[in-house]
Amino acid sequence: MREHDRLFIGGDWTAPSGTGTIDVVSPHTEEVVGRVPDGTAADIDAAVAAARHAFDHGPWPRMTPAERAEIIGRLAAIYAERQQEMADLVTAEMGSPILFSIFGQAALPQMVLQYHADLAASFTWEEERAGMLGPVTVTREPVGVVAAIYPWNVPQFTLMLKLAPALVAGCTVVAKPSPEAPLDGFLLAEWIREAGVPDGVVNIVPAGREVGAHLVAHPGVDKVAFTGSTDAGRRIGAVCGERLKACTLELGGKSAAIILPDADLAATVEGLKMASLMNNGEACAAQTRILAPRARYDEVADALAAMVGGLAVGDPADYGTEIGPLVARRQRERVEGYIRIGQEEGAKIITGGLSRPHDRGWYVTPTLFGDVSNDMRVAREEIFGPVLALIPYDDEDDAVRIANDSDYGLGGSVWTADVAHGVEVARRVRTGSCGVNLYVLDPNTPFGGYKDSGLGRELGPEGVSPYLEYKAIPRPS
């Protein structure tokens, strides 16, 4: 049981303004495993004030990028030493299988942090250009105070997509974790203090939706960076647009995996175990639409059914577990609701269904639907659970058409024996990323989506630019 009675504001542990608390409930045992203060609007005001003071008067924005990178590097080193602790904590609070947590919930966030510490040396912070009337200095300056609002499914990773570039750019941050998974943020706060990040540069206040809305609209915030649902992203984008406030939105997905006729089916299905079902299927970039050529449809269905039906479902802390519980009772109800919808629409359950694998915990049996058409809700709406839709296609053009016939455009993949041809097919898919014979997020490359999957990019040098303002300084020759 981890209990915190204070919030991380201004570089110190600060008593909250209210008396409310958030119980963190294990999705495996349904028992309380942690408790933190439930942040209020007054707490957000205090956190923004601390971040504002640190930006307007503190050393952080006035350091050189190299000086900031040294401190970020110290934080990355602490993170590297204690990754297992972070992985165990995230697994306990939101149910991610421990083998996934070790990589996706701990190692990958640490890699993102270290990447940005290293990027400081090669990023173009200032340049000279030849202007029409004389030389022009073009410089990049930090955008200001950033509101980083991140979800429960991969909390450290989605936070680090915002925190790391904001820090290297010289911004200060108010981070709002979700109520379902706030504990990891408090552990990170300990490491931030230990690394010597100046007071007020990072502030962490867990809270619910209404308090999050207060943070988004706060006049002391210069930029909002959000990961979450498309509906919430629309509301945040509208508020930021009304106030001419910068925002980055990483939203939902309904990504397609295109299996070409020449694909090695055994290797493809093994790759889809991670690409489609990572983190219990609670991943925005999961490849949950599987597109199979009609000539191999039955073969693909049988191979996928064997893989999905054979997944080990159980205690997320067990190293043999491949699918853990969903984060909350409401999430299990949502996913089971979609399984019913799929049946009502005429899709066939090839394996899985509504029988629950365990009496305790918020578990769902991994499910594969066949005979799915792309106009069904199970093919168009983000389910966020271990549910896959197998869709037949006629030829390659038809496969690309189906993949692109979506309101979303976040991820995707192509599976083929001809990698060069797979790259050509991937170029035709209208998504922010599309892997060939794998799906992976690389800190060195931009991540984000087209259409309803969001605005802007995170990761890579492209992910730093949204945290900078560009200034031109012309002068006579």
d(Cα 440, Cα 268) in Å, to the nearest integer? 14
What are 290-347's pLDDT values in tens digits? 999 999 999 999 999 999 999 999 999 999 999 999 999 999 999 999 999 999 999 9
Shared domain for 324 and 214, answered yes or no, is no
Shared domain for 220 and 247, answered yes or no, is yes
Average confidence score pLDDT of the chain: 98
d(Cα 170, Cα 467) in Å, to the nearest integer? 8
Shared domain for 63 and 169, answered yes or no, is yes
- Whether 111 maps to a domain, the answer reads yes
Provide, rounded to the nearest whole percent, the portion of the chain with pLDDT above 90. Answer: 99
Shared domain for 76 and 162, answered yes or no, is yes
- Whether 303 maps to a domain, the answer reads yes
Residues making up the chain, counted from first to last = 477
| Confidence band for 94, pLDDT divided at 50, 70 and 90 | very high
- Predicted confidence at residue 70, as pLDDT, reads 98
What are 100-118's pLDDT values in tens digits? 999 999 999 999 999 999 9
Question: Is the separation of the CB atoms in 197 and 8 below 8 Å?
Answer: no
pTM, entire model: 0.97
Q: Is the pLDDT at 167 greater than 90, yes or no? A: yes
Q: Is the pLDDT at 18 greater than 90, yes or no? A: yes
Shared domain for 110 and 210, answered yes or no, is yes
Residue 112: domain span: 2-251+453-474
Mean pLDDT, residues 442-457: 97
**What is the per-residue DSSP string for 86-120?**
HHHHHHHHH---HHHIIIIIIIHHHHHHHHHHHHT
Catalytic residue set: 250, 284
Pairing of strands 2-3, 32-37: parallel
3 state DSSP class of 201: coil
- Whether 448 maps to a domain, the answer reads no
Residue with tokens 């647009």: 241
CATH of the domain at 407: 3.40.309.10
Shared domain for 293 and 165, answered yes or no, is no
What are 198-234's pLDDT values in tens digits? 999 999 999 999 999 999 999 999 999 999 999 999 9
- Whether 399 maps to a domain, the answer reads yes
Q: Is the pLDDT at 477 greater than 90, yes or no? A: no
Shared domain for 210 and 302, answered yes or no, is no
Shared domain for 16 and 154, answered yes or no, is yes
- Predicted confidence at residue 123, as pLDDT, reads 97
Q: Is the pLDDT at 278 greater than 90, yes or no? A: yes
- Predicted confidence at residue 202, as pLDDT, reads 98
Shared domain for 170 and 267, answered yes or no, is no
Question: Is the separation of the CB atoms in 156 and 110 below 8 Å?
Answer: no
| Confidence band for 437, pLDDT divided at 50, 70 and 90 | very high
CATH of the domain at 463: 3.40.605.10
Domain count, the chain: 2
Question: Is the separation of the CB atoms in 256 and 291 below 8 Å?
Answer: yes
- Whether 263 maps to a domain, the answer reads yes
Shared domain for 77 and 49, answered yes or no, is yes
C-alpha dihedral over 439, 270, 389, 450, to 10 degrees? Answer: 0
